[in-house]
A and B are shown apart, each in its own frame.
Chain A
Amino acid sequence: MKKFLGKVLTILWKDILSELRTRDIVVSVLVFALLVIVIFNFAFEPERVGLVAAGILWVALTFAGVLGLSRSFVLEKDKDCLEGLMLCPVDREVIYFGKMLGSLTFILVVAVIVLPIFFILFNLPIFRPELVLIVVLATIGFASVGTLFSALAVNTKAREIMLPILFFPIVAPVIIAAVKATGLVFAGESWSSLSSWLQIMAAFDIIFLVVSSLVFEFIVEE
């Protein structure tokens, strides 16, 4: 078990290191998220914006997440890193979890930066701890299925369109739950009203972490 964790963390560390060097992914994803938020503000009447704030936040995070996921695998494929990774005598599940944690970390970093800016732009009460849980659960959901699908999409003839088409329908319950829960938090509700949404997200996360890790090997085999 310890060795498993060690290998996973090694892969994670490699991704983090290469990202720290170039800051490629985090910067582009961050800028994109902010652009989405600003543009959505133009799309709605100022009085209405408060009502749809939760939705705007999650549209921004979802699209930014897809961008981050695709970039992390495109870089791998272009530099043939993926083949190098395949040559290592490790279980495919190790590679999956390593990449998954990498994507998870990037999206979380982006969320941490985006959220305060979001609060300022939308004039919302600053910080509720419930939000942390919602964001973490949703992001795990995104990363679990997203890692699998971006590895798939990168190996097709139409990368840019394949990932969204695969990702969005599958992840729809997570988006629904996240938006609903966030909306409740913004409206001042307490933990109990959130519970069913949190349960859905948690169930999604567990189920798809397990299934994706099992199925990952079929994507990357040669």
Chain B
Amino acid sequence: MKERGVMRSNSLLGLSFLLMVAALYLVFVYVPTEKEMGIVQRIFYLMVPMGWLALLSFLIVFIGSILYLRKRESRWDILAHSSAEVGIVFTTLALITGAIWAKPIWGVWWTWEPRLTATLVLWLIYLAYLMVRSFATEESRGARFAAVVGIIGFIDIPIVALATTLWRGMHPGAVIFEGGLAPSMLLTLLVSIAAFTALYFCLLGRRIGLREVEAEIKKLSQD
């Protein structure tokens, strides 16, 4: 059983490596430079995958939370907790790449434009989820409370996105792209997203594996 698990995780690692190499090629060799923004625009192929993963991770947190509350099996809690940890890493990177994008393009490190603001709120929700676990009185309570935060937080995200978009309106500086995406750019973007998603699942798998070892240790030490 463990053999298969190790094999699967290694093949996933291999897959994400291949995708990553492909993505690097596409981003640096294949894709033409964008007219208006110049070479800096390529940060886009980092930024969008980060944002996408921030959302995907929380979706997994949401699913894990619901399943945990329903079935009370610890593996769902482990899934949710691990995804939250990996997720906050990617959300932080989304904010950082967003800022590095903003500086050369708009001249400031930070702007309260809809996407960045909503990402910041998402980051705070991740933080709340993780803090609930550390400040709970017992572990089982922490898991339950965190699951509640996971559910409420996820439902809140689209509302936050809607409110921040309406709040700032679409002023020229905030529009990431005028016109559509050229097909070459779209391909590069999709491969980048795929590469980082594979990486996400690798990291998630490792984190879950660690948690399971922790759980086993705890069980053994109680005997």
**Chain A residues close to B by CB (< 8 Å):** 145, 148, 152, 155-158, 162, 165-166, 168-170, 172-173, 176-177, 180, 196-197, 200, 203-204, 207-208, 211-212, 215, 218-219, 221
Report the bound CA distance from A169 to B148 in whole Å: 15
* Contact partners of B125 in chain A: CB under 8 A: 169-170
Contact B155 A168, beta carbon cutoff 8 Å = no
Report the bound CA distance from A200 to B164 in whole Å: 11
Contact A200 B166, beta carbon cutoff 8 Å = yes
User: Is B121 among interface residues, defined by CB-CB distance under 8 A?
Assistant: yes
**Chain B residues close to A by CB (< 8 Å):** 69, 121, 124-125, 127-128, 131-132, 135-137, 141, 144-145, 147-149, 151-153, 155-156, 159-160, 162-164, 166-167
> Can you name 30 A-B pairs with beta carbons within 8 Å?
A145-B152, A152-B132, A152-B148, A152-B149, A155-B136, A155-B137, A155-B141, A156-B136, A156-B137, A157-B136, A158-B135, A165-B124, A165-B127, A170-B153, A170-B156, A173-B163, A176-B167, A180-B167, A196-B166, A197-B166, A200-B163, A208-B155, A211-B151, A211-B152, A211-B155, A215-B152, A218-B69, A218-B144, A218-B147, A218-B148
Write the nearest CB–CB distance from A59 to chain B, whole angstroms.
16
* Contact partners of A145 in chain B: CB under 8 A: 152
Interface of B is mostly: helix
Contact A219 B148, beta carbon cutoff 8 Å = yes
- Which of A162, A176, A196 has the most chain B CB atoms closer than 10 A to its own CB? A176
Task: Select from chain B the residue with minimum beta-carbon distance to A174.
Answer: B163
Tell me the total A-B contact number using a CB cutoff of 8 A.
85
Contact A165 B131, beta carbon cutoff 8 Å = yes
Report the bound CA distance from A140 to B147 in whole Å: 23
Select which of B69, B127, B136, B163 is within 8 A of A172 by beta carbon: B163
Report the bound CA distance from A196 to B125 in whole Å: 25
Report the bound CA distance from A169 to B166 in whole Å: 17
Contact A203 B159, beta carbon cutoff 8 Å = yes
Contact A157 B135, beta carbon cutoff 8 Å = yes
Task: Select from chain A the residue with minimum beta-carbon distance to B129.
Answer: A166
Contact B124 A148, beta carbon cutoff 8 Å = no
A173-B128 contact given A157-B136, A215-B152, CB 8 Å threshold: no
Write the nearest CB–CB distance from A130 to chain B, whole angstroms.
18
* Contact partners of A204 in chain B: CB under 8 A: 159
* Contact partners of B160 in chain A: CB under 8 A: 169, 172-173
Contact A173 B131, beta carbon cutoff 8 Å = no
Report the bound CA distance from A97 to B145 in whole Å: 19
Report the bound CA distance from A169 to B69 in whole Å: 23
* Contact partners of B151 in chain A: CB under 8 A: 211, 215
* Contact partners of A169 in chain B: CB under 8 A: 121, 124-125, 128, 153, 156, 160
Write the nearest CB–CB distance from A61 to chain B, whole angstroms.
17
